[in-house]
Structure 1
Amino acid sequence: MTGIVYDDETGTPEILRRVGRVRRDGPGVVVDVDAHPAVRLPGTPGWLTGEPVTDQGVETTMPNLPDLRLPPLTTRTWQVRVAFAGPRTVRIVVAPAGARVLAEDPTWLGIVTDPRPEPVEPRIEEHPDHLTVSTGRMGVRIGRFPFAVTVTDADGRTVLRTGERLRQVAGFPMAPPVLGDGEHTTLHCELGPDEEITGFGEQFGRLVKNGQQLLLRVEDALGTGTGMAYKPVPVWHSTAGYTGFLNTGATVTADVGHTRPSVLALTAADEAIDLYVCVDADPKVRLGDYTALTGRPNRPPLWAFGYWMGRCRYHSRTEMEGVARGMADHDVPCDVLHLDPDWLVVDRLNTDFIWNTDRFGDRAAFVKALDAYGCRLSVWELPYLDPASPRYAEAEAAGYLVRDTAGATARLRGTPTPDGRPRALIDFTNPRARRWWQDLHADFLDDGVAVFKTDFGEGLPDDAALADGTPPRHAHNLYPLRYNGAVSAVIAERTGRDPLVWGRSGWAGSHRYPGQWGGDAESTVAGMRATVRGGLSYALSAPGFWSHDIGGFFGPELTPALYVRWTQLGALSPLMRAHGLRPREPWAFGPRALAVSRDWIRLRYSLLPYLWQVATESAARGWPMLRPCALHDPHDPVATGLDGQFLLGEDLLVVPIFDDGDEPVRRRFHVPAGQWTDLLTGERYQGPGWHSVDVPLERMPVLVRDGAVIPRVDLPEEFRRTDDLVGLPWTLHVFGDADRDLRLAGFDGTDTTVRIRGGVAEAAGGQPVRRQVVRHG
């Protein structure tokens, strides 16, 4: 069985079979489709309706064909609505007539923010056996009988088709295009012989999802090796040339050739399928179209790209000031110190914004003291209230807490509580509750708190009755989207700058609220490996600004060598934070680890001009900073499966070393097409192809593409943080032949157009740029 597993409690499933009335509806069409009850054959894969078996394609001449008991042939009308959001993007809604989604605007769940980014009037053609709706850049063909859907690109090539052709030996259909029972709806798509699927959010297994079955449900995953996900996203990419997106908050099961090798089965725990398909050969174009629908992130402030340090937990102001002083004493630049829950009086799965003055004194004075060492303050929160908090009764009486469908205060689910008391959750769909929660941040922001770590958010129960009437089946997965959006908005409102949160949980649309981090990885090589895979998978579904806990959060005692290897990875990640249950300060791991880690942290600061360009591009175009190699080399058959290396922007290839020992490691990696130069050693590589190098602890391969111009800043002898680099001139490092004009976004908010000719840079205003160009290769 592919997709849904039905039982007696889910109702009788129906299969869509025959197109009836077709009518134009504004910029699209509405198609009525007859659906018939269906039965699954016992002991053999396949489905049958009450129609004549010859109409269903059954091989009646099979000598061992069993007696077939067909269900009653009754009919119910479903509707298929096809409308274009742009020349390359179509929305296909499939639902029983009268379903709520058919009457709702695409923005109704808060995932889609602009339903028609590029309005287009499609061409509609009706034929005896099918109808087509097309824009010139893509088309949708709907078969009349049997009902089927095919999506084509600008050249008429099929990129997606439903699974009506897929049968077992007796001709029984194994993957009917749409199968629904009122509680679940499955879309069956045929996988091509060489088609590979990636995406589905922050998944910690292999980047290519073929052969996997994924449950897309926001959970406190309790690590990166449990099979659960903090940030699943119902967005996927196909090497056939399309990106799919299910506009739903319902739990989705994605069976990617797991049950049936040639079937992609997508089951939403909902009465409908609301599918967007973006078509283009270039996945960057498709991501741009997807984020045009769902919004793009702002570029975080410059200081966000510096080095962050945290621990679970720092217990006092004295301890944190000691860490800030240690950064200065050890010449380790640092922009942010993070404070986990000890700032609260009631601090176990509770946030009521009551500052613990016994541990941390006056908040404004504490922020000022850290600033003297060069560090901003990050503060932890979660959206739950403990009944032991003085604010619980206030929130409950005012109706700010989530209720269940029985009218009682809903209880947190999923995350174990330390004392058994039921925690409550803030209802962010209630405007007064949202405003109350936001206002609790105000004094913190006024005192100079720079960022909030928006932890948790995965615990909304399934029987939640939210104030705005969001159907319970959608509410759970949408909760972290709304939570992070509320905190991001108040930061922007109160500070007047681009906001930044540090979120753990997420869903489709969460990329609008940078940044996110990879949750509680284990402090092992396996944990580091899973972290990279999670970041690459998330980048394809929620493009923006992602990071991870350097050193991992928990588990076996972290070796100094693994700490160094993880720091190297962190230095070339979109954002950089060390954090864990135990100390993560570089001097805690011995003199060698301190020296090597400090070099890589300083390398990151020297590369901040390049990171700033990538961040600017990502925010403007809807692309991730951390990029799977296939994002820039989609036609390289090797690139799609590369999940142990990545691109940072277009021009830096980063090859993490997954090892926890002190000795050199033999590392094999794939170099994309073209000439590349190791940033640190100057060694040259030709791609595409595999290369192996011996890598000592002090090194990690970081390769630069020929033709790249990498702006860098020469670090002063003494500096503390990113603020100290603003206004310093940049040096342009040119790799290979790169005589060209380029536009640079400056730290100060100005742009500079630079003309590179013959080893000299000519700049007109804006960011200071050294006239001398450094050439490599």
Structure 2
Amino acid sequence: MTITKAFILRHVTGVAREGDAVRLTVQALPAIELPGAPGWLTGEDPLDQGIEITMPNLPRDLTLPPVEPREVDVVITIAEHDAARLVVAPPGARVHREPASWLGIVTNDAIDRPDLSEDPGTVTVRGAEVEVRVRRSPFAVEIRDGAGHTVARTAERLRQVAGFPMAPAVMLYDNGLSLNLELGTDEDILGFGEQFGRLVKNGQHLRLRTEDALGTGTGMAYKPVPVWHSTAGYTALVNTGAVVSADVGHSRPSVLGVRVADEALDLYVMTGAHPRRRLGAYTRLTGRAPLPPLWAFGYWMGRCRYRSAHEMLAVARTMREHAVPCDVLHLDPDWLVVDRLNTDFIWNTDRFGDRREFVSALDDLGCRLSVWELPYLDPASPRYAEAQQRGYLVRDVDGAVAELRGTPTPDGRHRALIDFTNPEARSWWQHQHDVFLDDGVAVFKTDFGEGLPDDVALADGTPPVHAHNLYPLRYNAAVSDHIAAHTGRAPLVWGRSGWAGSHRYPGQWGGDAESTVAGMQATLRGGLSYAMSAPGFWSHDIGGFFGPELTPGLYVRWTQFGALSPLMRAHGLRPREPWEFGEDALTVAREWIRLRYSLLPYLWQAAGDSAALGLPMLRPLALEFPDDPVAAGIDGQFLLGNDLLVVPIFDDGTSPVIRRFYVPDGEWQDLLTGESVSGPGFRSQEVPLERMPVLVRAGAVIPRVNVDAHVRNTDDLLGRPWTLHTYGRAPGEFDLHGFDGTITRVTIARRRVSAVGSQPIDEVVRHH
């Protein structure tokens, strides 16, 4: 029999209040895992462990481990009124000495003083709207909300037939800790970052380690996040950079098992009846994204790769010839001289000429410039030696320059990584952007960042187990923070990799999707999953990045999806300009791009709510309709803001298709056809290529702006009057946030509208 070296937390032996924290001393006992069967056993009396010793198939001749307890500290605090923090670690562990923000995930260290009560069997720590109940022996934890409802409990009572516990509450191993929670009979789990499988994670086993996922169908993730949402009424964050494994009813159908590859389990649990409220609590702890500039919500166009300034200016001119609004053109690595997995900020004048003149020429055509980067240096670059000499490159534990892992290098040479924990290195990297920003570059696409090896010694002493997953968070933060500091405007990056906290640095996109229906479906699932754990501004590559030649039908369908996504960018290995797919595709795509621009006043309100309240713009139905038992499983459609229900068409042909979709409770009206629909229930509808179902919730006011053939970009919308479209019984008074940041108070009476503020309101259109 193989004995797994493990310890199970079993008995609370001490309770002490330490300032605003409650520290429990807990005995952890050595345990063995049964050979060939699920179940754990300590050296205690089997009867005390609940073992059914009369069972005829009870394992015999088990060599029990010694009863040699190891002490573990469980420290409980209340992080604001509706969030509890539990830190499980050996005495003296670093996490006990550090503030909650030490890893850069949590940004708010404030805690409330809890109420502490004890009885012979239980220790209870209470905040205003959350309660942690700890059973002394055997150790168990129960979380209750402000109404006294149990929302989470450890799974130690779940056993196999002979009474052996299958999922002890908390276990310690040589290489980590695990927490086991019961899954209720109707409990669904969502989240864990940008995962490309089904939105409901029950039945899945996930390994949360940020990777160059090489697509959306490989089972890996660019932006995993150790945050999950339970329909039982809680949202949880594991405050760690270490690899986290989540077994969501995969090995044991009634158990959510979370294992952290670290000496500590640092867990936050947010309670509240509505998931919107819990996301608000989570983002109060971890920060919220600033509102990006208006032009960020326009249409972006890119290609891997545009080879010259001449080629890009031709694209911009053709956009204008076809009257397609466009705000941003993106330039991938060809702007570099050494451009294979390298960024040294040396501009390729042979291909793109003088940078300032190039940016100015694009500006004359109404387009801003987005520029690609990654945080790696090629030894072939003349700046490599400078960075190495100054100590700006990540080193491994033996002191050598660390080498990029996980992304194949095209020439076999190693690539080095910038150490963003070194303040001088961070500043050096940031200031490389200055001349680009001064010349008018609008935004940087912060690509890659997933390649930090595990055996590194970072300058600030971050433990190696945390370094890999925190690297993309620190990389995107460095660029975003500097854009804000250098320009004085709201920052914007376009990041691929991420971790918990990355939502603070908008925006992110869904990585390298395949140009297939499956790739489009996986992309949406990734965005919905990310929304439940990293709420903010997310997008995707319209048309997918790679794969089979993109069909005109799929290009149109993906453009429709993109037009009603938080941000809108077309990009891929091959051309993504709408005229490349034929006249019919150009006509339909242009109409949807113009529709997006006409809806920018509505998108601006939704974006403002996202920044102010910590909500995603793109929302799963489960977020808005938590009491609907069907909503959690719907991952082929979404809400954009509060009031638009978007139903993408997953098809690559040009003929009409039958689309079956779910209509949530209430009255809805199709934005384009005016047809009224009632929910809840499923509906099937024939959808031609030029249409996609977009339903407006009854009671909504949708501000829109007129978009004609003269609109080149968002600048052309400034100062134009808005038209208010009301659906059903509209609110009598409400505020509108103008593109200039001012607030206009609007009052709608039966026959008139009045507005107090700077935003001109043209008229009210009533939809019945």
Partner of 1:205: 197
Q: 2:16 aligns with which of 13, 23, 42?
A: 23
1:7: Cα distance to partner?
Answer: 8.2
The structure 1 residue matched to 2:747, chosen from 739, 751, 755, is 755
| CA apart distance, 1:765 | 1.8
Cα offset, 1:361, TM superposition:
0.1
Tell me which residue corresponds to 2:183: 191
Shift of 1:406: 0.4
Q: How does 1:414-493 map to 2 (within 5 A)?
A: 414-493=406-485
Instruction: Give the one of 177, 201, 221 matched to 1:229.
Output: 221
Is 1:661 matched up with 2:645?
A: no
* Residue 406 (structure 1) aligned with residue 398 (structure 2): yes
1:240 to 232, 238, 244: 232
Report what 2:355 is aligned to. 363
The residue type paired with residue 71 of structure 2 is T
Alignment check: 8 A CA contact 1:569 1:656 kept:
yes
Instruction: String of CA shifts for 1:57-88, please: whole Å, max 9, x gaps.
Output: 10011122222321111011001010001111
8 A contact 1:310–1:337 mirrored in 2? yes
Per the alignment, residue 339 of structure 2 pairs with: 347
| Structure-2 separation of matches of 1:58 and 1:759 | 75
**Residue 12 of structure 2 contacts residue 137 of structure 2 at CA under 8 Å; is this kept in 1?**
yes
| Separation in structure 1 between the aligned mates of residue 59 and residue 381 of structure 2, nearest angstrom | 66
Cα contact 2:2–2:35 (8 A) shared by 1: no
Amino acid in structure 2 at the alignment position of 1:45: P
Q: Which moved more, 1:473-482 or 1:753-762?
A: 753-762
Equivalent position SS for 1:598: helix
2: CA distance, partners of 1:297 / 1:664:
39
Alignment of 1:683-762 (within 5 A): 683-762=675-754
Match of 1:54 in 2: 47
> Which SS does the other structure have where 1:180 is aligned?
strand
Partner SS state of residue 199, structure 1: strand
> Cα distance, 1:12 vs. partner?
2.2
The match for 1:63 among 44, 50, 56 is 56
Give the Å deviation of 1:756: 1.0
Q: CA deviation at 1:136?
A: 3.7
Q: Distance in 1 between matches of 2:759 and 2:123?
A: 56
* 3-state SS of paired residue (2:79): strand
The one of 85, 90, 93 equivalent to 2:79 is 85
- CA–CA separation in structure 2 for the residues paired with 1:703 and 1:188: 41
Distance 2:624 2:748 in 1: 24
Cα contact 2:280–2:614 (8 A) shared by 1: yes
Q: Specify the code of the residue in structure 2 equivalent to 1:354.
A: I
Q: Which residue of 2 aligns with 1:776?
A: 767
1:519 counterpart = 2:511: yes
| Letter matched to residue 563 of structure 1 | Y
- CA shift for structure 1 position 714: 0.9
Q: State the distance in 2 between where 1:320 and 1:683 align.
A: 42
**Distance in 2 between residues matched to 1:25 and 1:642, nearest whole Å:** 46
Post-superposition offset of 1:424:
0.1
Secondary structure, aligned partner of 1:773: strand
Could you list the runs of 4 or more consecutive aligned residues of structure 1 that deviate by over 3 angstroms after TM superposition?
Answer: none
Q: In structure 1, how many angstroms separate the alpha carbons of the residues matched to 2:505 and 2:240? A: 19
- Out of 27, 35, 44, the position equivalent to 2:28 is 35
Quote how far apart the aligned CAs of 1:767 are.
1.1
Instruction: For residue 749 of structure 1, report the CA deviation from its aligned partner.
Output: 1.6
CA shift, 1:459, in A, is: 0.1
Q: Equivalents in 2 of 1:476, 1:759: separation in Å? A: 60
Q: In the alignment, is residue 533 of structure 1 matched against residue 525 of structure 2?
A: yes
* 8 Å Cα contact 1:759-1:775 kept in structure 2: no
**Counterpart secondary structure, 1:656:** coil
**For structure 1, which runs of at least 5 residues remain unmatched after alignment?**
1-5
Shift of 1:748: 1.2
- Displacement, 1:650? 0.8
Query: Does the CA contact (< 8 Å) of 1:759 and 1:773 recur in 2?
Result: no
Q: Which moved more, 1:412-421 or 1:20-29?
A: 20-29
1:608–1:712 CA contact under 8 A, matched in 2 = yes
Give SS of 1:66's match: coil
2:97 is aligned, of 99, 103, 109, to 103
Deviation at 1:115, TM superposition (A): 2.0
Task: Give how far 1:494 is off.
Answer: 1.1
Q: Distance in 2 between the 1:65 and 1:177 partners?
A: 23
Larger CA deviation: 683-692 vs 218-227: 683-692
Query: More deviation in 148-157 or 728-737?
Result: 148-157
Q: Please give the residue correspondences for 1:276-355 in structure 2 after superposition, counting only pairs within 5 Å.
A: 276-355=268-347
- Matched with 1:3 is none
User: Which amino acid letter does the alignment assign opposite residue 431 of structure 2?
Assistant: D
Indicate whether 1:249 and 2:241 are aligned: yes
**1: CA distance between counterparts of 2:655 and 2:108?**
53
**Which sits farther off after the overlay, 139-148 or 55-64?**
55-64
* Residue number in structure 1 paired with 2:133: 141
| Contact kept in structure 2, 1:727 and 1:748, CA below 8 Å | no
The amino acid of 2:389's aligned partner reads: A
Q: Provide Cα deviations, 1:28-63, integer angstroms capped at 9, x if missing partner.
A: 200000011111110111011111111111001112
| Partner of residue 621, structure 1 | 613
Match of 1:155 in 2: 147
Shift of 1:759: 4.1
User: Matches of 1:151 and 1:7 in 2, distance apart?
Assistant: 35
Q: Secondary structure at the match of 1:364?
A: helix
Report what 1:391 is aligned to.
383
How big is each residue's C-alpha offset from its partner over 1:170-194, in whole Å with a ceiling of 9 and x where there is no partner? 0001000111123111001011111
CA distance in 2, matches of 1:486, 1:135: 36
Q: Distance in 2 between matches of 1:630 and 1:704?
A: 17
AA aligned to 2:661 is F
- List runs of 5+ in structure 2 lacking aligned partners: none
Q: Which amino acid aligns with 2:394?
A: V
- SS of 1:60's equivalent in the other structure is coil
* Deviation readout 1:453-472 (Å, 9 max, x if unpaired): 00000000000110000000
Give the TM-score of the pair, scaled to structure 1. Answer: 0.98
Equivalent residues, number:
767
In the alignment, the residues of structure 2 paired with residue 196 and residue 627 of structure 1 have an alpha-carbon distance, to the nearest angstrom, of 17
TM-score of the pair, normalised by structure 2: 0.99
What is the DSSP-based 3-state SS (H/G/I as helix, E as strand, rest coil) of the residue aligned with 1:111?
coil
Out of 210, 214, 226, the residue aligned to residue 206 of structure 2 is: 214
Deviations 1:256-293 (A, max 9, x none): 00000000000000011100000011000000000000
The letter of the residue matching 1:554 is F
C-alpha contact (below 8 Å) 2:359/2:368 kept by paired residues: yes
Give the secondary structure class of the aligned counterpart of 2:101.
Answer: coil
- Compute the displacement of 1:761 (Å): 1.7
TM-superposition CA deviations, 1:106-150 (whole Å, max 9, x none): 00000000122xx53221110101111112422100000000000
Q: Is the 8 A contact 1:739 1:757 kept in 2?
A: no
| Superposed CA offset, 1:331-377 (max 9, x none) | 00100000000000000000000000000000000000000110000
- Aligned mates of 1:624, 1:468 — CA distance in 2: 33
Return closer, same or farther for 1:94/1:592 CA change in 2, 3 Å cut-off.
same
1:534 deviates by 0.2
Moved more, 121-130 or 64-73: 64-73
- Does 2:548 match 1:562? no
Structure 1 residue matching 2:430: 3-state secondary structure: helix
State the distance in 1 between where 2:366 and 2:117 align: 65
| Aligned-partner Cα distance in 2 for 1:619–1:306 | 18
Q: Distance in 2 between matches of 1:165 and 1:87?
A: 29
